[in-house]
Every structure is written in C-alpha cells, then in structure tokens.
C-alpha cells in the first residue's frame, strides 16, 4: 500500500522537523497571549501510564457523566482544562459480555459555553442551536438507530440520554465518543472518548493475558499553551475557522505525554485504539522486535499475525501481544514512526508464567462476493480554492443534508467500493455493521474526473493479513478503489457512513443511509 502524505508529515513532525522548519508549522489559534508549549522539549517518560477505572456490566444501568475537569498531562505542565466521561482524563473502561444487554445513561453536565473555536458556518453548527451539545456513539456496536448516536440526536447540558446496547456481537474492543453534528471534532478533542470491551467464550478459551497483563492504550495528539490549556488550530478566517486536518506536536497515551509502564518479562496484551482527530499512528517497537496482532476493529483474527509495524488510522483498533520475556532488566519503547511514545521498563522476573501465543484464534468465514445483491460506488472528493486550500469534502458529491440515496435491505449483503479522488487516505466507517475488505485497485483519477469512467491501471491487491478479520473502519488510500462487502444485519432504521478524520466528516464527508425491510 503506498505511503500517504499524512503519514509522511506526521513522521516528520515526530522527528522535530516541524520545529526545525518554521514554514511547516501550522497557524496557531489566537486563544491566548501565552506561547505554545513545545511538547517535544518536555522530559520524556516521567509519568506512569494511567489505567482506567473498570465498570463491569452487572445488568443494572451504568451512568457515565460528561463533565469539565482539570488534569495534568505531564509532570511539568500545569493542569489542563478538558472534558471527560468521568472524573479523570481517562474515562471509565466499560466491560461486558457478548449477548449480555447493557444500558448506559449518558448525562450531560458540561458547561453551556464551549472553550474551543466553533465554526458556525458548518452544517448543523449555526447560531440557532445551543453552543454545547452531545450525541454519544458507541463505535462498532450493533444497536438500534435510536441508540446509535445519530449526529442530529444531540442533547444539551442538564439533559441525559439512556441507550440500550444488546451486545449481540463477538468479543472485541469498542469505543465511545461524541458525534454531535458540527462540533464532534471539538468535543472529541476536548476529551469525550472512552473504551468498552466485549468478552465471549471463544476469547475465554484462549487464556490470553488478562488482569494486570491486559492494558488499554488510547492514542491521540494535542497541542497546548505554556499554561497547559488546550490549543486547537484555526484557518485564520474568523468566519470560517475550520481546518481540513489536525496534527499536533504532543502525543498522548491514556492522557499522558510519553508515559512509562513497568512490565514483567512475559507476554502482555495491549488493546490499542486511535482516537485522534486526524493523525495516523505507525506503531512499532524501538528494538525492532516483532509482536503479534491477534485482533482488529471487530474482534479476533483467525490466527495471530507477526508484525514489525502496524498503521492505525483514525478510529481503528488493534489487539496486540508483546513478549517482554527476553528483556528482563531492560527498557524498550512503543513508537510511532521514529518517535517513542511509551517506555516499557521490564522488571527482573515475572510473577506469573504466561501461556504461549495461540496458533488459532477464531473461525472467520469469508463472505463470498456472490452473496452481494448490489454494488454501490462511493466517490470521495476534496474541493479546493484557487490556492489549493480545502473548502469542503464530499461523498458522491453530496452534502449531509441532501436526501438519502443508500437504502440497503435488512439481512442482505452489498459491495461498497470507495473511489478515492483525493490526495489523502480516508478511514471510512459505517455505523451498525461490520464488514470484510475485498481488495484495493489503482485507477486513473484523471480519466474518472473527466469521463466518470473507471480505468484500472493495475491489478487488485488483497488486504493485508491483519485486515482479514471483521472491520468497521477501512483505510482508503488515494488513487485506489477500495472494496468492502457488508452484511446489513441487526436493525432497520437510519444510520450513517463517513470519513473518520473528524475534520473531514465535519465539512462534509458524512452521509446518511437507511436500512429498510
């Protein structure tokens, strides 16, 4: 798969090229007279990796409350104002079992005024709606439309929303985040995200690392002012402050900048999720050691895949096993590109012996193309002004508010092909469903733009081994047609699909679809 402009720029930033070359630095938001914080100059690995409070599903309703908090992101940085689904920067981790229904009451106790720069020109974000509003989406959940967190189903401070999640799905790592129309990129940036783990009997039988040996890693990036306050970029146009992408200097893991984790010389399981607005993470270990990927977005793979590096797009998850048994008394690092983001301090001996990595994980049947009742072509567009600045991003040249054009039938399968006519890799997400990646194939973008004809310029490439499981986000690289096959199971009703780069979906790379009977 070709490297993308975004991954290149982010690796450059990771190596401090952005600081060495002022011309590459983004425009800073004029939110304070204080200077921006140089996060790359902070002492690394001085804070322990935070771990979340675990809330288990007992059958009683769970209450998660959105609130404004102050939390320290680094030992040497003043506390930062942020929003959270709990009392700490890292929201409680909800744990449940497959087919054990879960009820969550989402309470909005946020302030009435937003502290990040709203673009009132974006659809659904005008002066005629409350400044602060929330709509919680449990990403990857198979649930009824009324509980899915539809962008227009927002609720304001002082209100709550109770959602029911049947959990009729296999063991996996889901995550929840804000999805309010027009401002979800700001609400997520403020801190409204968290993780939910689903267990089942197949996972139980594998005896994978658990308890202290299973560690969630929530990855994202942020910019700060010297006083610790969050800094979000703007365009320079007060009437239209939206920017097409956001990539910050400070990389956080579980709410801390470059933390450390003490581990034993044994195998650990890391549940990784990329909750960044725009950044992709290219993960590897600093000593070059391989690790095993045992799962992706929607659960376990059929068998472990040995990896030296894995790229996580926005909203993608990876289930990783790392063996520290040969590193007793040493340190190693999780890195993105060439930049270390977590330090692992390996103790001298293990308290508990570990099981070997299973050779087989879960049976996964591939969905044959012959099952598809139709193929839908979705084109990805980036419209720019005369100086090459992105102005709006669309799917099939349509805005969110235009009439729905996709009406898949319940209990049928369809092929969706994403025709990427832009310069970016777009992580495309469909609500409600899981899917399998079929292939990616290069095509002549100029011919398509001029003639609306697909002229392929090479052979189709099968998905990589770690993409052969069930997915709910697919990376769609530029100049390629990316095909997925989707079974529309669960519920009829209105849902949506969109690019999960939050700045893209805000303007306006997001469209509704309706599952019909």
Q: Residues 106, 134: contact at Cβ < 8 Å? A: yes
Q: Residues 197, 225: contact at Cβ < 8 Å? A: no
User: Is pLDDT at 295 greater than 50 in this prediction?
Assistant: yes
User: Is pLDDT at 26 greater than 80 in this prediction?
Assistant: no
Q: Which helix (H) or strand (E) holds 392?
A: strand 390-395
**Which residue, chain included where needed, has tokens 């019909």?**
516
Distance CA 45, CA 73 (A): 12
Residue 141 burial class via C-beta count within 10 angstroms: exposed 0-12, middle 13-18, buried 19 and up: buried
pLDDT at 516: 98
The alpha carbon of residue 511 and the mean position of all alpha carbons in its chain are separated, in whole angstroms, by: 18
State phi, psi for 190 to the nearest 5 degrees.
-70, -20
Token pair, residue 386, equals 């005369």
Which of the residue ranges 26-35, 115-124, 170-179, 372-381 would you say has the lowest mean pLDDT? 26-35
Q: Which residues contact 517 (CB under 8 A, 6 or more apart)?
A: 409, 410, 492
DSSP state of 174: E
User: Is pLDDT at 39 greater than 60 in this prediction?
Assistant: yes
Residues 457-504 pLDDT 10s: 999 999 999 999 999 999 999 999 999 999 999 999 999 999 999 999
User: Is pLDDT at 241 greater than 60 in this prediction?
Assistant: yes
76, 110, 262, 271, 352 from 210: Cα distances, Å = 33, 34, 16, 11, 11
Residues 302-361 pLDDT 10s: 999 999 999 999 999 999 999 999 999 999 999 999 999 999 999 999 888 889 999 999
Task: Name the residue among 200, 71, 62 with its Cα closest to residue 136.
Answer: 62
pLDDT at 388: 86
State phi, psi for 449 to the nearest 5 degrees.
-65, -35
Residue 201 burial class via C-beta count within 10 angstroms: exposed 0-12, middle 13-18, buried 19 and up: exposed
Q: Tell me which of 315 and 12 has the higher pLDDT.
A: 315
Q: Residues 110, 68: contact at Cβ < 8 Å? A: yes
Distance CA 46, CA 258 (A): 8
Q: Residues 276, 314: contact at Cβ < 8 Å? A: yes
CB atoms within 10 A of CB 474: 26
In three state form, how does the secondary structure of 26-87 look? CCCCCCCCCCECCHHHCCCCCCECCCCCEEECCCCCEEEEEEEEEECCCCCCCCEEEEECCC
Residues 255-278 pLDDT 10s: 999 999 999 999 999 999 999 999
Q: Which residues contact 393 (CB under 8 A, 6 or more apart)?
A: 244, 380, 381, 382, 383, 422, 499, 504, 507, 508, 509
147, 150, 355, 378, 422 from 394: Cα distances, Å = 26, 19, 48, 10, 10
User: Is pLDDT at 31 greater than 70 in this prediction?
Assistant: no
User: Is pLDDT at 33 greater than 90 in this prediction?
Assistant: no
The predicted model gives 4-8 an average pLDDT of 44
Q: Which residues contact 489 (CB under 8 A, 6 or more apart)?
A: 142, 410, 411, 433
**Which residue, chain included where needed, has tokens 């995200």?**
193
Ramachandran quadrant class, 130 (left: phi over 0; alpha: psi -120 to 50; beta: rest): beta
Q: Does the CA dihedral 491-496-497-498 come out positive or negative? A: negative
Strand partners, 442: 480
pLDDT at 89: 97
Q: Which residues contact 362 (CB under 8 A, 6 or more apart)?
A: 170, 202, 299, 300, 301, 302
CB atoms within 10 A of CB 241: 19
pLDDT at 271: 99
Distance CA 421, CA 344 (A): 41
Residue 413 burial class via C-beta count within 10 angstroms: exposed 0-12, middle 13-18, buried 19 and up: buried
DSSP state of 309: -
Residues 194-237 pLDDT 10s: 999 999 999 999 999 999 999 999 999 999 999 999 999 999 99
State the chain's mean pLDDT as an integer: 93
User: Is pLDDT at 189 greater than 60 in this prediction?
Assistant: yes
The alpha carbon of residue 277 and the mean position of all alpha carbons in its chain are separated, in whole angstroms, by: 8
Q: Residues 91, 254: contact at Cβ < 8 Å? A: no
pLDDT at 302: 98
pLDDT at 353: 86
State phi, psi for 203 to the nearest 5 degrees.
-65, -45
Residues 79-106 pLDDT 10s: 999 999 999 999 999 999 999 999 999 9
pLDDT at 98: 98
The predicted model gives 130-157 an average pLDDT of 98
Strand partners, 298: none
pLDDT band at 16 (very low <50, low <70, confident <90, very high): very low
pLDDT at 1: 39
pLDDT at 386: 83
pLDDT band at 389 (very low <50, low <70, confident <90, very high): confident
User: How long a stretch of residues is the chain?
Assistant: 517
pLDDT at 350: 87
48, 164, 203, 207, 298 from 200: Cα distances, Å = 31, 19, 6, 12, 13
Q: Residues 472, 430: contact at Cβ < 8 Å? A: yes
The predicted model gives 234-241 an average pLDDT of 94
Q: Residues 137, 160: contact at Cβ < 8 Å? A: no
pTM of the model: 0.94
Residues 405-426 pLDDT 10s: 999 999 999 999 999 999 999 9
pLDDT at 9: 42
Cis peptide preceding 508, ω within 30 of 0: yes
Distance CA 406, CA 16 (A): 44
Tell me the percentage of the chain whose pLDDT exceeds 70: 94
| β-strands 260-263, 339-346 pairing | parallel
């Amino acid at each position: 798969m070709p490297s993308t402009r975004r991954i290149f720029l982010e690796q450059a930033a990771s190596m401090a090229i952005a600081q060495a070359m002022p011309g590459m630095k983004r425009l800073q938001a004029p939110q304070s007279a204080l200077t921006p914080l140089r996060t790359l100059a902070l002492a690394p690995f001085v804070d322990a990796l935070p771990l979340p409070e675990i809330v288990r599903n007992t059958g009683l309703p769970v209450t998660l409350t959105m609130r404004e908090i102050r939390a320290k992101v680094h030992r040497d940085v003043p506390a930062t104002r942020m929003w959270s689904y709990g009392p700490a920067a890292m929201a409680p981790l909800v744990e449940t079992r497959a087919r054990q229904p879960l009820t969550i009451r989402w309470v909005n106790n946020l302030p009435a005024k937003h502290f990040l720069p709203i673009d009132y020109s974006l659809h659904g974000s005008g002066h005629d709606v409350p400044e602060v509003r929330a709509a919680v989406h449990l990403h990857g959940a198979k649930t009824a439309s009324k509980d899915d967190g539809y962008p227009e189903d927002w609720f304001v401070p002082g209100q709550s929303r109770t959602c029911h999640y049947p959990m009729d799905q296999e063991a996996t790592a889901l995550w929840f985040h804000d999805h309010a129309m027009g401002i979800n990129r700001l609400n997520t940036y403020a801190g409204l995200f968290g993780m939910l783990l689903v267990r089942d009997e197949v996972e139980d039988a594998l005896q994978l690392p658990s308890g202290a040996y299973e560690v969630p890693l929530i990855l994202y990036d942020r910019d700060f002012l010297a006083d610790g306050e969050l800094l979000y970029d703007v365009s320079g146009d007060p009437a239209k402050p939206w920017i097409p992408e956001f990539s910050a200097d400070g990389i956080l893991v579980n709410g801390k900048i470059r933390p450390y984790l003490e581990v034993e010389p044994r195998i650990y399981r890391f549940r990784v999720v990329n909750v960044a607005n725009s950044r992709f993470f290219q993960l590897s270990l600093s000593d070059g050691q391989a690790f095993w990927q045992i799962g992706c977005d929607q659960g376990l793979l059929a068998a472990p895949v040995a990896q030296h590096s894995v790229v996580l797009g926005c909203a993608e998850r990876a289930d990783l096993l790392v063996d520290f048994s040969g590193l007793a008394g040493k340190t190693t690092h999780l890195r993105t590109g060439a930049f270390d983001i977590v330090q692992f301090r390996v103790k001298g001996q293990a308290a508990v012996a570990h099981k070997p990595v299973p050779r087989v994980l879960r049976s996964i049947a591939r969905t044959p193309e012959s099952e598809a009742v139709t193929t839908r072509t979705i084109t990805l567009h980036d419209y720019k002004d005369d100086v090459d600045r992105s102005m709006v991003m669309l799917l099939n040249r349509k805005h969110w508010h235009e009439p729905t054009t996709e009406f898949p039938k319940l209990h049928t399968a369809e092929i969706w092909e994403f025709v990427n006519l832009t310069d970016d890799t777009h992580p495309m997400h469909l609500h409600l469903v899981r899917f399998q990646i079929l292939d990616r194939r290069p095509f002549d973008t100029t011919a398509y733009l001029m003639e609306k004809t697909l002229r392929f310029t090479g052979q189709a490439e099968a998905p990589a081994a770690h993409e052969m499981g069930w997915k709910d986000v697919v990376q769609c690289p530029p100049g390629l047609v990316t095909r997925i096959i989707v079974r529309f199971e669960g519920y009829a009703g209105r849902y949506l699909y969109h690019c999960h780069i939050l700045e893209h979906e805000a303007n306006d790379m997001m469209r509704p679809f309706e599952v019909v009977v």
